[in-house]
Protein backbone atom coordinates (compact mmCIF):
# COMPACT_ATOMS: atom_id res chain seq x y z
CA UNK A 1 0.00 0.00 0.00
CA UNK A 2 1.39 3.38 -1.04
CA UNK A 3 2.24 5.88 1.64
CA UNK A 4 0.45 9.25 1.77
CA UNK A 5 3.01 12.04 1.96
CA UNK A 6 0.36 14.78 1.93
CA UNK A 7 -3.13 14.61 3.38
CA UNK A 8 -5.47 17.59 3.41
CA UNK A 9 -8.88 17.27 5.03
CA UNK A 10 -11.60 19.94 5.13
CA UNK A 11 -9.13 22.81 4.66
CA UNK A 12 -10.47 26.35 4.85
CA UNK A 13 -8.25 29.40 4.42
CA UNK A 14 -8.64 33.16 4.29
CA UNK A 15 -6.50 36.25 4.66
CA UNK A 16 -7.20 38.93 7.31
CA UNK A 17 -10.45 40.81 6.61
CA UNK A 18 -11.29 38.66 3.57
CA UNK A 19 -13.75 35.94 2.63
CA UNK A 20 -12.80 32.28 2.60
CA UNK A 21 -10.64 31.55 -0.45
CA UNK A 22 -10.26 27.80 0.12
CA UNK A 23 -13.40 25.95 1.22
CA UNK A 24 -13.62 22.44 2.63
CA UNK A 25 -10.73 21.35 0.46
CA UNK A 26 -9.61 17.71 0.44
CA UNK A 27 -6.41 16.47 -1.19
CA UNK A 28 -4.15 13.42 -1.03
CA UNK A 29 -0.71 12.95 -2.59
CA UNK A 30 1.04 9.59 -2.52
CA UNK A 31 4.73 8.76 -2.41
CA UNK A 32 6.23 8.97 -5.91
CA UNK A 33 3.03 10.37 -7.42
CA UNK A 34 2.86 13.33 -9.81
CA UNK A 35 -0.29 15.42 -9.52
CA UNK A 36 -1.40 18.23 -11.85
CA UNK A 37 -3.62 21.07 -10.58
CA UNK A 38 -5.29 23.38 -13.09
CA UNK A 39 -7.77 26.23 -12.75
CA UNK A 40 -8.76 29.62 -14.07
CA UNK A 41 -6.87 32.77 -13.09
CA UNK A 42 -7.66 33.79 -9.51
CA UNK A 43 -8.82 30.28 -8.56
CA UNK A 44 -6.74 30.23 -5.36
CA UNK A 45 -3.66 28.39 -6.62
CA UNK A 46 -1.15 30.66 -4.89
CA UNK A 47 -3.20 30.61 -1.69
CA UNK A 48 -3.25 26.81 -1.68
CA UNK A 49 0.54 26.68 -2.06
CA UNK A 50 0.88 29.09 0.86
CA UNK A 51 -1.51 27.03 2.98
CA UNK A 52 0.36 23.78 2.27
CA UNK A 53 3.77 25.27 3.06
CA UNK A 54 2.79 27.18 6.20
CA UNK A 55 3.67 30.60 4.78
CA UNK A 56 -0.02 31.51 4.53
CA UNK A 57 -0.28 31.44 8.31
CA UNK A 58 3.23 32.43 9.39
CA UNK A 59 4.00 35.16 6.85
CA UNK A 60 0.62 36.33 5.51
CA UNK A 61 -1.23 36.03 8.86
CA UNK A 62 -3.99 33.98 7.29
CA UNK A 63 -6.55 31.89 9.14
CA UNK A 64 -6.66 28.15 8.44
CA UNK A 65 -9.13 25.50 9.55
CA UNK A 66 -9.00 21.78 8.92
CA UNK A 67 -6.11 19.32 8.86
CA UNK A 68 -2.93 19.30 6.77
CA UNK A 69 -0.55 16.39 7.34
CA UNK A 70 2.88 16.29 5.69
CA UNK A 71 4.77 12.99 5.83
CA UNK A 72 2.51 11.79 8.65
CA UNK A 73 2.96 14.89 10.80
CA UNK A 74 0.52 17.79 11.27
CA UNK A 75 1.54 21.04 9.64
CA UNK A 76 1.46 23.02 12.88
CA UNK A 77 4.00 20.63 14.42
CA UNK A 78 6.66 21.80 11.96
CA UNK A 79 8.68 24.97 12.15
CA UNK A 80 9.00 26.76 8.79
CA UNK A 81 12.65 25.70 8.60
CA UNK A 82 11.76 22.04 9.22
CA UNK A 83 8.92 22.17 6.72
CA UNK A 84 11.15 23.54 3.96
CA UNK A 85 13.27 20.40 4.18
CA UNK A 86 10.21 18.24 3.59
CA UNK A 87 8.35 20.40 1.04
CA UNK A 88 10.24 22.45 -1.54
CA UNK A 89 8.54 25.04 -3.74
CA UNK A 90 9.94 26.03 -7.13
CA UNK A 91 8.53 29.48 -7.87
CA UNK A 92 7.24 30.94 -11.13
CA UNK A 93 10.37 33.08 -11.39
CA UNK A 94 13.41 30.83 -10.77
CA UNK A 95 15.67 33.83 -10.29
CA UNK A 96 14.15 34.41 -6.85
CA UNK A 97 15.85 31.24 -5.58
CA UNK A 98 19.41 32.52 -5.90
CA UNK A 99 21.37 34.23 -3.12
CA UNK A 100 24.71 34.33 -4.93
CA UNK A 101 25.12 35.07 -8.66
CA UNK A 102 27.63 32.24 -9.23
CA UNK A 103 25.87 28.89 -9.62
CA UNK A 104 28.41 26.74 -7.78
CA UNK A 105 28.76 29.20 -4.89
CA UNK A 106 24.99 29.41 -4.47
CA UNK A 107 24.42 25.63 -4.52
CA UNK A 108 27.42 24.75 -2.36
CA UNK A 109 26.55 27.37 0.27
CA UNK A 110 23.00 26.02 0.42
CA UNK A 111 24.27 22.44 0.73
CA UNK A 112 26.50 23.47 3.66
CA UNK A 113 23.48 25.05 5.38
CA UNK A 114 21.60 21.76 5.08
CA UNK A 115 24.30 19.23 5.96
CA UNK A 116 26.60 21.31 8.22
CA UNK A 117 29.46 19.17 6.91
CA UNK A 118 31.72 19.90 3.93
CA UNK A 119 32.14 16.28 2.86
CA UNK A 120 28.42 15.49 2.99
CA UNK A 121 27.56 18.77 1.25
CA UNK A 122 30.07 18.07 -1.54
CA UNK A 123 28.81 14.51 -2.01
CA UNK A 124 25.17 15.64 -2.13
CA UNK A 125 25.95 18.38 -4.65
CA UNK A 126 27.96 15.96 -6.79
CA UNK A 127 25.07 13.48 -6.87
CA UNK A 128 22.44 16.09 -7.69
CA UNK A 129 24.51 17.90 -10.32
CA UNK A 130 25.32 14.66 -12.13
CA UNK A 131 21.69 13.56 -12.04
CA UNK A 132 20.34 16.82 -13.47
CA UNK A 133 23.36 17.47 -15.72
CA UNK A 134 24.21 20.94 -14.44
CA UNK A 135 27.95 20.61 -13.72
CA UNK A 136 28.69 22.50 -16.92
CA UNK A 137 26.81 25.47 -15.42
CA UNK A 138 28.87 25.73 -12.21
CA UNK A 139 31.05 28.60 -13.44
CA UNK A 140 28.14 30.55 -14.90
CA UNK A 141 26.11 33.39 -13.37
CA UNK A 142 22.40 32.70 -12.93
CA UNK A 143 21.31 35.68 -15.02
CA UNK A 144 23.29 34.28 -17.97
CA UNK A 145 21.31 31.04 -18.09
CA UNK A 146 18.44 30.18 -20.40
CA UNK A 147 14.99 29.51 -18.97
CA UNK A 148 15.49 25.75 -19.16
CA UNK A 149 18.94 25.93 -17.53
CA UNK A 150 17.53 28.08 -14.74
CA UNK A 151 14.73 25.60 -14.06
CA UNK A 152 17.12 22.66 -13.94
CA UNK A 153 19.46 24.48 -11.56
CA UNK A 154 16.65 25.50 -9.21
CA UNK A 155 15.28 21.95 -9.19
CA UNK A 156 18.76 20.70 -8.30
CA UNK A 157 18.82 23.14 -5.41
CA UNK A 158 15.37 21.98 -4.30
CA UNK A 159 16.33 18.29 -4.11
CA UNK A 160 19.56 18.93 -2.18
CA UNK A 161 17.52 18.69 1.03
CA UNK A 162 16.02 15.35 -0.11
CA UNK A 163 12.42 16.59 0.18
CA UNK A 164 9.42 14.29 0.16
CA UNK A 165 7.42 16.73 -1.98
CA UNK A 166 8.29 19.33 -4.62
CA UNK A 167 5.64 21.89 -5.57
CA UNK A 168 6.03 23.58 -8.95
CA UNK A 169 4.30 26.92 -9.42
CA UNK A 170 3.82 27.55 -13.17
CA UNK A 171 7.03 25.70 -14.18
CA UNK A 172 6.46 26.18 -17.93
CA UNK A 173 6.10 29.94 -17.65
CA UNK A 174 8.62 31.73 -19.92
CA UNK A 175 10.01 28.45 -21.26
CA UNK A 176 10.45 28.02 -24.99
CA UNK A 177 9.89 24.69 -26.75
CA UNK A 178 13.41 23.48 -25.93
CA UNK A 179 13.00 24.49 -22.29
CA UNK A 180 9.68 22.65 -22.00
CA UNK A 181 11.22 19.44 -23.33
CA UNK A 182 14.11 19.85 -20.90
CA UNK A 183 11.70 20.31 -17.98
CA UNK A 184 9.70 17.21 -18.92
CA UNK A 185 12.90 15.15 -18.91
CA UNK A 186 13.73 16.49 -15.43
CA UNK A 187 10.24 15.54 -14.19
CA UNK A 188 10.79 11.98 -15.34
CA UNK A 189 14.11 11.93 -13.44
CA UNK A 190 12.38 13.11 -10.26
CA UNK A 191 9.69 10.47 -10.67
CA UNK A 192 12.38 7.80 -10.85
CA UNK A 193 13.71 9.02 -7.48
CA UNK A 194 10.29 8.49 -5.88
CA UNK A 195 9.78 12.20 -5.12
CA UNK A 196 6.13 13.27 -4.94
CA UNK A 197 5.36 16.17 -7.27
CA UNK A 198 2.54 18.72 -7.22
CA UNK A 199 2.37 20.88 -10.36
CA UNK A 200 0.22 24.02 -10.63
CA UNK A 201 0.15 25.02 -14.29
CA UNK A 202 -2.04 27.02 -16.69
CA UNK A 203 -0.16 25.72 -19.74
CA UNK A 204 -1.02 22.11 -18.96
CA UNK A 205 -1.15 20.47 -22.39
CA UNK A 206 2.53 19.38 -22.52
CA UNK A 207 2.22 17.87 -19.02
CA UNK A 208 -0.79 15.59 -19.23
CA UNK A 209 1.15 12.52 -20.38
CA UNK A 210 3.65 12.98 -17.55
CA UNK A 211 1.26 13.00 -14.57
CA UNK A 212 -0.66 10.32 -12.66
CA UNK A 213 -3.76 12.34 -11.78
CA UNK A 214 -5.26 15.77 -12.40
CA UNK A 215 -7.30 18.08 -10.18
CA UNK A 216 -9.18 21.27 -10.91
CA UNK A 217 -9.37 24.15 -8.42
CA UNK A 218 -12.44 26.36 -8.79
CA UNK A 219 -14.33 28.69 -6.45
CA UNK A 220 -12.27 27.51 -3.49
CA UNK A 221 -13.07 23.83 -4.03
CA UNK A 222 -10.91 21.12 -5.56
CA UNK A 223 -11.98 17.96 -7.34
CA UNK A 224 -10.35 15.24 -9.40
CA UNK A 225 -10.91 15.11 -13.16
CA UNK A 226 -10.25 12.19 -15.45
CA UNK A 227 -7.16 12.37 -17.64
CA UNK A 228 -9.46 11.26 -20.46
CA UNK A 229 -10.75 14.85 -20.53
CA UNK A 230 -7.39 15.97 -21.91
CA UNK A 231 -7.63 13.49 -24.76
CA UNK A 232 -10.38 15.56 -26.38
CA UNK A 233 -9.13 17.39 -29.49
CA UNK A 234 -8.41 20.96 -28.42
CA UNK A 235 -7.42 21.87 -31.98
CA UNK A 236 -9.34 21.67 -35.23
CA UNK A 237 -7.64 21.70 -38.62
CA UNK A 238 -8.42 24.55 -40.95
CA UNK A 239 -7.12 24.81 -44.51
CA UNK A 240 -6.23 27.95 -46.41
CA UNK A 241 -6.26 30.22 -43.40
CA UNK A 242 -6.02 33.77 -44.64
CA UNK A 243 -4.41 36.56 -42.71
CA UNK A 244 -6.40 39.71 -42.28
CA UNK A 245 -6.43 41.96 -45.32
CA UNK A 246 -3.83 44.62 -44.70
CA UNK A 247 -4.15 48.32 -45.26
CA UNK A 248 -1.95 49.74 -48.02
CA UNK A 249 -0.48 52.12 -45.46
CA UNK A 250 2.62 51.02 -43.59
CA UNK A 251 2.71 51.07 -39.81
CA UNK A 252 6.32 49.93 -39.41
CA UNK A 253 9.13 49.69 -41.95
CA UNK A 254 12.48 48.08 -41.09
CA UNK A 255 15.32 47.91 -43.60
CA UNK A 256 18.68 46.13 -43.15
CA UNK A 257 18.60 46.31 -39.35
CA UNK A 258 21.67 45.12 -37.41
CA UNK A 259 22.03 45.16 -33.61
CA UNK A 260 24.38 43.89 -30.92
CA UNK A 261 24.95 44.72 -27.26
CA UNK A 262 28.65 43.91 -26.80
CA UNK A 263 29.75 40.76 -28.58
CA UNK A 264 27.97 38.85 -31.32
CA UNK A 265 25.27 40.28 -33.53
CA UNK A 266 21.79 39.60 -32.11
CA UNK A 267 19.89 40.87 -35.15
CA UNK A 268 21.35 40.54 -38.65
CA UNK A 269 20.07 42.32 -41.72
CA UNK A 270 16.44 42.28 -40.56
CA UNK A 271 13.96 43.75 -43.04
CA UNK A 272 10.19 43.70 -42.60
CA UNK A 273 7.20 45.88 -43.49
CA UNK A 274 4.19 45.77 -41.17
CA UNK A 275 1.07 47.49 -42.39
CA UNK A 276 -1.35 49.73 -40.51
CA UNK A 277 -3.90 47.01 -39.63
CA UNK A 278 -1.56 44.00 -39.59
CA UNK A 279 -1.61 41.39 -36.82
CA UNK A 280 1.86 39.86 -36.68
CA UNK A 281 3.38 37.16 -34.47
CA UNK A 282 7.15 36.65 -34.23
CA UNK A 283 8.18 33.16 -33.09
CA UNK A 284 11.65 32.42 -31.76
CA UNK A 285 13.42 30.60 -28.94
CA UNK A 286 14.54 32.38 -25.78
CA UNK A 287 17.54 34.59 -26.53
CA UNK A 288 16.74 34.85 -30.24
CA UNK A 289 16.35 38.64 -30.11
CA UNK A 290 12.56 39.00 -30.06
CA UNK A 291 12.44 41.43 -27.12
CA UNK A 292 15.34 43.40 -28.57
CA UNK A 293 13.52 43.77 -31.89
CA UNK A 294 10.35 45.05 -30.20
CA UNK A 295 12.34 47.55 -28.13
CA UNK A 296 14.01 48.85 -31.30
CA UNK A 297 10.63 49.22 -33.03
CA UNK A 298 9.33 51.10 -29.97
CA UNK A 299 12.35 53.42 -30.04
CA UNK A 300 13.81 52.27 -26.70
CA UNK A 301 16.96 50.97 -28.42
CA UNK A 302 18.78 52.31 -31.46
CA UNK A 303 19.99 49.98 -34.21
CA UNK A 304 23.72 49.77 -34.87
CA UNK A 305 22.99 49.76 -38.59
CA UNK A 306 19.84 50.04 -40.66
CA UNK A 307 16.66 52.09 -40.74
CA UNK A 308 13.49 51.80 -38.63
CA UNK A 309 10.45 53.90 -39.51
CA UNK A 310 7.29 54.12 -37.42
CA UNK A 311 4.20 55.59 -39.04
CA UNK A 312 2.32 56.07 -35.81
CA UNK A 313 2.67 56.05 -32.04
CA UNK A 314 4.26 52.84 -30.70
CA UNK A 315 3.93 51.32 -27.22
CA UNK A 316 5.95 48.40 -25.82
CA UNK A 317 4.27 46.14 -23.23
CA UNK A 318 6.98 44.04 -21.53
CA UNK A 319 6.94 40.33 -20.83
CA UNK A 320 6.81 41.08 -17.10
CA UNK A 321 3.69 43.15 -17.60
CA UNK A 322 3.62 44.58 -14.05
CA UNK A 323 6.59 46.75 -15.10
CA UNK A 324 4.20 48.63 -17.40
CA UNK A 325 2.37 50.25 -14.48
CA UNK A 326 3.60 53.24 -12.49
CA UNK A 327 0.65 54.22 -10.29
CA UNK A 328 -1.02 52.73 -7.21
CA UNK A 329 -4.48 52.42 -8.74
CA UNK A 330 -6.20 52.15 -12.12
CA UNK A 331 -7.76 55.55 -11.42
CA UNK A 332 -4.32 57.15 -11.04
CA UNK A 333 -3.07 55.43 -14.20
CA UNK A 334 -5.99 56.98 -16.10
CA UNK A 335 -5.44 60.41 -14.59
CA UNK A 336 -1.73 60.27 -15.43
CA UNK A 337 -2.56 59.66 -19.10
CA UNK A 338 -5.23 62.33 -19.26
CA UNK A 339 -3.10 65.05 -17.65
CA UNK A 340 -0.98 65.02 -20.80
CA UNK A 341 -3.86 64.74 -23.26
CA UNK A 342 -4.72 68.40 -23.74
CA UNK A 343 -8.36 67.83 -22.78
CA UNK A 344 -8.51 66.09 -19.39
CA UNK A 345 -12.30 65.86 -19.15
CA UNK A 346 -12.77 64.39 -22.63
CA UNK A 347 -9.87 61.96 -22.14
CA UNK A 348 -11.14 60.83 -18.73
CA UNK A 349 -14.66 60.23 -20.04
CA UNK A 350 -13.35 58.24 -22.99
CA UNK A 351 -10.88 56.36 -20.78
CA UNK A 352 -13.51 55.43 -18.22
CA UNK A 353 -15.71 54.04 -20.99
CA UNK A 354 -12.83 51.99 -22.46
CA UNK A 355 -11.84 50.62 -19.05
CA UNK A 356 -15.41 49.50 -18.37
CA UNK A 357 -15.59 47.79 -21.76
CA UNK A 358 -12.40 45.92 -20.82
CA UNK A 359 -13.97 44.75 -17.57
CA UNK A 360 -12.56 47.32 -15.12
CA UNK A 361 -15.46 48.89 -13.22
CA UNK A 362 -13.59 49.41 -9.94
CA UNK A 363 -10.88 51.97 -10.67
CA UNK A 364 -9.66 51.92 -7.06
CA UNK A 365 -7.99 48.54 -7.66
CA UNK A 366 -4.20 48.47 -7.78
CA UNK A 367 -2.84 47.07 -11.05
CA UNK A 368 -0.27 45.05 -9.13
CA UNK A 369 -2.92 42.86 -7.45
CA UNK A 370 -4.62 41.89 -10.69
CA UNK A 371 -4.15 38.49 -12.28
CA UNK A 372 -1.69 38.19 -15.13
CA UNK A 373 -4.44 38.17 -17.74
CA UNK A 374 -6.11 41.20 -16.18
CA UNK A 375 -2.80 43.08 -16.19
CA UNK A 376 -2.31 42.36 -19.91
CA UNK A 377 -5.84 43.55 -20.62
CA UNK A 378 -5.37 46.70 -18.53
CA UNK A 379 -2.10 47.55 -20.27
CA UNK A 380 -3.81 47.31 -23.67
CA UNK A 381 -6.74 49.45 -22.48
CA UNK A 382 -4.41 52.15 -21.13
CA UNK A 383 -2.42 52.14 -24.39
CA UNK A 384 -5.68 52.57 -26.31
CA UNK A 385 -6.72 55.48 -24.08
CA UNK A 386 -3.34 57.13 -24.72
CA UNK A 387 -4.01 56.92 -28.49
CA UNK A 388 -1.23 54.49 -29.38
CA UNK A 389 -1.76 52.75 -32.71
CA UNK A 390 1.26 50.44 -32.85
CA UNK A 391 1.00 47.78 -30.13
CA UNK A 392 4.09 45.71 -29.30
CA UNK A 393 3.47 42.90 -26.80
CA UNK A 394 6.39 40.80 -25.57
CA UNK A 395 5.34 37.20 -24.75
CA UNK A 396 1.80 38.23 -23.69
CA UNK A 397 0.69 34.60 -23.21
CA UNK A 398 3.09 33.99 -20.30
CA UNK A 399 1.12 33.20 -17.16
CA UNK A 400 -2.25 33.01 -18.95
CA UNK A 401 -4.71 30.14 -18.97
CA UNK A 402 -5.64 28.84 -22.41
CA UNK A 403 -9.03 30.55 -22.17
CA UNK A 404 -7.37 33.84 -21.22
CA UNK A 405 -5.10 33.51 -24.26
CA UNK A 406 -8.11 33.20 -26.54
CA UNK A 407 -9.77 36.21 -24.89
CA UNK A 408 -6.58 38.29 -25.20
CA UNK A 409 -6.36 37.55 -28.92
CA UNK A 410 -9.93 38.80 -29.38
CA UNK A 411 -8.97 42.08 -27.68
CA UNK A 412 -5.87 42.37 -29.87
CA UNK A 413 -7.78 41.79 -33.09
CA UNK A 414 -10.19 44.59 -32.21
CA UNK A 415 -7.42 47.17 -31.76
CA UNK A 416 -7.09 49.92 -34.37
CA UNK A 417 -3.54 49.78 -35.72
CA UNK A 418 -0.62 47.40 -36.13
CA UNK A 419 -0.23 44.59 -33.59
CA UNK A 420 3.04 42.72 -33.11
CA UNK A 421 3.43 40.03 -30.48
CA UNK A 422 6.23 37.58 -29.72
CA UNK A 423 5.97 33.93 -28.69
CA UNK A 424 8.57 31.29 -27.84
CA UNK A 425 6.40 28.16 -28.03
CA UNK A 426 4.53 26.68 -30.96
CA UNK A 427 1.61 25.66 -28.74
CA UNK A 428 0.59 29.34 -28.85
CA UNK A 429 0.19 29.44 -32.64
CA UNK A 430 -3.33 27.86 -32.77
CA UNK A 431 -4.64 30.82 -30.75
CA UNK A 432 -3.35 33.29 -33.34
CA UNK A 433 -5.55 32.41 -36.27
CA UNK A 434 -5.32 35.17 -38.88
CA UNK A 435 -1.97 36.53 -37.67
CA UNK A 436 1.00 36.69 -40.04
CA UNK A 437 3.73 34.39 -38.70
CA UNK A 438 7.45 35.23 -38.81
CA UNK A 439 10.33 33.10 -37.52
CA UNK A 440 13.31 34.79 -35.86
CA UNK A 441 16.35 32.50 -35.88
CA UNK A 442 20.09 33.22 -35.77
CA UNK A 443 19.32 36.93 -35.91
CA UNK A 444 17.35 36.77 -39.17
CA UNK A 445 13.61 37.03 -39.69
CA UNK A 446 11.71 34.96 -42.25
CA UNK A 447 8.01 34.94 -43.13
CA UNK A 448 6.43 31.53 -42.47
CA UNK A 449 3.65 30.98 -45.00
CA UNK A 450 2.86 27.45 -43.78
CA UNK A 451 0.43 28.86 -41.20
CA UNK A 452 -1.55 30.46 -44.05
CA UNK A 453 -2.05 27.16 -45.88
CA UNK A 454 -2.92 24.69 -43.12
CA UNK A 455 -3.41 25.69 -39.53
CA UNK A 456 -4.56 24.31 -36.24
CA UNK A 457 -7.24 26.43 -34.66
CA UNK A 458 -8.11 26.29 -30.98
CA UNK A 459 -11.42 24.60 -30.17
CA UNK A 460 -12.80 26.73 -27.34
CA UNK A 461 -15.81 24.51 -26.66
CA UNK A 462 -13.67 21.47 -25.83
CA UNK A 463 -11.17 23.61 -23.95
CA UNK A 464 -13.90 25.22 -21.85
CA UNK A 465 -15.26 21.80 -20.97
CA UNK A 466 -12.00 20.99 -19.14
CA UNK A 467 -12.64 23.77 -16.64
CA UNK A 468 -16.29 22.79 -16.21
CA UNK A 469 -15.79 19.04 -15.73
| Residue 248 and residue 211 in one domain | no
Asked, for residue 180, whether it belongs to a domain, the answer is yes
| Residue 280 and residue 387 in one domain | yes
The whole domain housing 299 covers 238-458
Rounded Cα distance, 88 and 158, in Å:
6
Q: What is the CATH number of the domain that holds 242?
A: 3.40.50.300
Rounded Cα distance, 439 and 281, in Å:
9
Task: Give the pTM.
Answer: 0.86
Rounded Cα distance, 39 and 222, in Å:
9
| Residue 138 and residue 183 in one domain | yes
Sign of the C-alpha dihedral, residues 196, 82, 51, 359? negative
Q: Which residues touch 307 (CB under 8 Å, ≥6 apart)?
A: 253, 254, 255, 256, 257
pLDDT for the residue 433: 86
Least confident of 52-61, 354-363, 443-452: 443-452
What is the bridge-based pairing of β-strands 250-259 and 63-70? unpaired
Asked, for residue 297, whether it belongs to a domain, the answer is yes
| Residue 207 and residue 308 in one domain | no
| Residue 72 and residue 208 in one domain | yes
Rounded Cα distance, 436 and 350, in Å:
31
Highest mean pLDDT among 17-26, 144-153, 449-458: 17-26
Q: What is the pLDDT of residues 413-462, one digit of tens each?
A: 999 999 999 999 988 888 898 899 999 999 999 999 876 544 556 666 66
- Of 191, 211, 231, the residue at which a domain comes to its end is 231
> Which of 62, 66, 142 shows the shortest CA–CA distance to 105?
142
Q: Work out the average pLDDT over 216-224.
A: 92
Q: Work out the average pLDDT over 458-468.
A: 66
Asked, for residue 465, whether it belongs to a domain, the answer is no
| Residue 410 and residue 425 in one domain | yes
438's torsion region: left (phi>0), alpha (psi -120 to 50) or beta? beta
- Of 231, 265, 297, the residue at which a domain comes to its end is 231
Give the residue with greater pLDDT, 21 vs 1: 21
Q: pLDDT tier at 246 (50, 70, 90 boundaries)?
A: low
What is the total count of domains within the chain? 2
Residue 288 scores a pLDDT above 50: yes
Phi then psi for residue 370, to 5 deg, are -75, 160
Rounded Cα distance, 3 and 26, in Å:
17
pLDDT for the residue 242: 52
Asked, for residue 53, whether it belongs to a domain, the answer is yes
| Residue 225 and residue 147 in one domain | yes
Q: Which residues touch 311 (CB under 8 Å, ≥6 apart)?
A: 249, 250, 251, 252, 253, 276
pLDDT for the residue 457: 61
| Residue 321 and residue 395 in one domain | yes
Q: Which residues touch 10 (CB under 8 Å, ≥6 apart)?
A: 24, 25, 26, 65, 66, 67
| Residue 193 and residue 244 in one domain | no
| Residue 202 and residue 344 in one domain | no
Asked, for residue 188, whether it belongs to a domain, the answer is yes
Asked, for residue 466, whether it belongs to a domain, the answer is no
Asked whether 70 and 54 are in contact (CB, 8 A), the reply is no
pLDDT for the residue 453: 47
The CA dihedral of 182, 184, 185, 186, to the nearest 10 degrees, is 90
Asked, for residue 84, whether it belongs to a domain, the answer is yes
Residue 469 scores a pLDDT above 60: no
Rounded Cα distance, 276 and 99, in Å:
46
How far the first Cα of the chain sits from its last, in Å, is: 29
| Residue 384 and residue 421 in one domain | yes
pLDDT for the residue 247: 63
| Residue 61 and residue 116 in one domain | yes
- Of 231, 260, 278, the residue at which a domain comes to its end is 231
Asked, for residue 464, whether it belongs to a domain, the answer is no
In Å, how far are 358, 411, 416 from 380, measured between CA atoms? 9, 8, 11
Amino acid sequence: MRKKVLKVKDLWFRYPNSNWILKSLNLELYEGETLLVIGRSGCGKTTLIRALTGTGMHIYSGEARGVVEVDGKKLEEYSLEELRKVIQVVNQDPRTHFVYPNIYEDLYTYAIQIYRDEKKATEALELVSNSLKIKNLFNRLYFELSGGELRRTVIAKAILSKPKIIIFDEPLMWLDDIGVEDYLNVIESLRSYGISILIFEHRFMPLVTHVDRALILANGFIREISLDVFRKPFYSMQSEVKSRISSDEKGISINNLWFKYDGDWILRNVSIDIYRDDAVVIYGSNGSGKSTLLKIIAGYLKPVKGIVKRFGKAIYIPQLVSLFFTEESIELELRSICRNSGDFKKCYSKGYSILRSYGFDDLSQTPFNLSWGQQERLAIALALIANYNIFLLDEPFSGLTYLDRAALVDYLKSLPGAKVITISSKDSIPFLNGFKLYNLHNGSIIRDFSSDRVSQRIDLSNLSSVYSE
